[in-house]
Amino acid sequence: MRRAFLAALAAAVAAFAIYPEFGTGYGVRSILQVFMWIALAGSWNLVSGLTGYVSFGHVAFFGAGAYAGGILITQHGWPWPVASLGGGAAALVLAAVIGGPCLRLKGPYFAIAMLGLNEVLRALVSYFEGLTGGGNGLSLPTLDASVPIYYVMGLLAMAVTAGTYLIITSRFGLRLMTIREDELAAEAMGIDTFRHKMYALLLSAVGPGIAGALTARDQGYIEPISVFPLATTITMIVMVLFGGKGTVWGPVLGAVVLFVAQELVWARYPYVHPLLFGAIIVAVVLAMPRGVLGLLQIKYHLPRTI
């Protein structure tokens, strides 16, 4: 079973690796998007799926990475692969700064604080026109790098998923889960819950930061409303809830299934699309609050590494 799974995984990775050789431009861009959603959903899962601290502003890290990357490329002439790491670093710094005050809040208050953070960041980016172009947006020099970005985004998706596997199978991961399970009991067992929440938030910020910078490079133009949309956070959350929070493959499954569903429905019935997403949220929350893999995990007693 395990061997078959690993073989299938290796085959999938190989197929994605050679796909740009013969795939269409549309295909490459679509898969690039799937990679991005895997990285975003997987990152959200690290903090919210494991510690239970639901972040409603995770796109803030994506947007911060996009602007940091965009500014580094346009104003400092950094090559985009390095600038994308700069985007990750910017998101990390943002997480370190806001983690202190926000992680002392519990439950819905944390969620709202993160939501507010995203709005503040969007306003700040609009305000500092000299640096960010403000509401006019930021245009990057023309460059067709879709294929290399495809590979880097693919690596990012793999790194986030592999990192999730390592964390979930470690005692560090168990300690993160105790925060979700019962924070007071975790403290009573000698676990420094604040520090662990901080680690989780930092880890969950890097991926979106890099993905944001890569997206900025890929699209060539960013503006505040395009990189700080609440809809992106909601999509990450729905993907993880659908696939199974707190598992390794749940975010991957959610990202793939919902992205494909979205593309199919969106192409044919553009007006039904938001309705479909709303319906999925309601259905998942009501029928299987643990998501597809979470349900299987509990029912058949499977490890969280599914």
Partner 1 sequence: MATPALEIEDVRKSFGGVAAVNGVSLRLPPGRIYGLIGPNGSGKTTLFNCITGVERRDAGRIFLNGERIDGLKPYQVAQKGVGRTFQIIRVFPELTALENLLVVTRGAREAARARALELLRFVKLEGLKDEYAGNLSYGQQKLVEFVRMLMRDPALVLLDEPAAGVNRTLLNDLLEAVRRLRDQGKTVLLVEHDMKVVMGLCETVFVLDHGEKIAEGPPGVIQTDERVIEAYFGR
User: Smallest gap, in angstroms, from Cβ of residue 186 to partner 1?
Assistant: 7
Q: Can residue 3 be called a binding residue for partner 1 (CB under 8 A)?
A: no
Cα torsion angle, 292, 298, 301, 305, sign:
positive
Largest CA distance in the chain: 57
Among 4, 15, 188, 267, binds partner 1 (CB under 8 A): 188
Q: Can residue 77 be called a binding residue for partner 1 (CB under 8 A)?
A: no
User: Smallest gap, in angstroms, from Cβ of residue 182 to partner 1?
Assistant: 5
Count residues near partner 1 (CB under 8 A): 21
User: Tokens 């992106």 belong to which residue?
Assistant: 232
Q: Can residue 192 be called a binding residue for partner 1 (CB under 8 A)?
A: yes
Q: Can residue 166 be called a binding residue for partner 1 (CB under 8 A)?
A: no
Nearest to 46 by CA among 204, 212, 222, 161: 204
Among 122, 175, 197, 217, binds partner 1 (CB under 8 A): 175
Whole-angstrom distance, CA of residue 223 vs CA of residue 113: 23
Q: Can residue 174 be called a binding residue for partner 1 (CB under 8 A)?
A: yes
User: Smallest gap, in angstroms, from Cβ of residue 56 to partner 1?
Assistant: 23
- Cβ atoms of residues 259 and 301 within 8 Å: no
- 182: which residues sit within 8 A by CB, 6+ positions away? none
Q: Can residue 185 be called a binding residue for partner 1 (CB under 8 A)?
A: yes
User: Smallest gap, in angstroms, from Cβ of residue 111 to partner 1?
Assistant: 20
Among 2, 3, 21, 190, binds partner 1 (CB under 8 A): 190
Residue type for 271, please? Y
- Between 2 and 171, whose beta carbon lies closer to partner 1? 171
In order, the DSSP letters of 136-186 are: G-EEPPP---HHHHHHHHHHHHHHHHHHHHHHHTSHHHHHHHHHHH-HHHH
User: Smallest gap, in angstroms, from Cβ of residue 246 to partner 1?
Assistant: 8
- Chain residues that interact with partner 1, rule: CB under 8 A: 171, 174-175, 177-178, 180-182, 184-193, 246, 298, 301
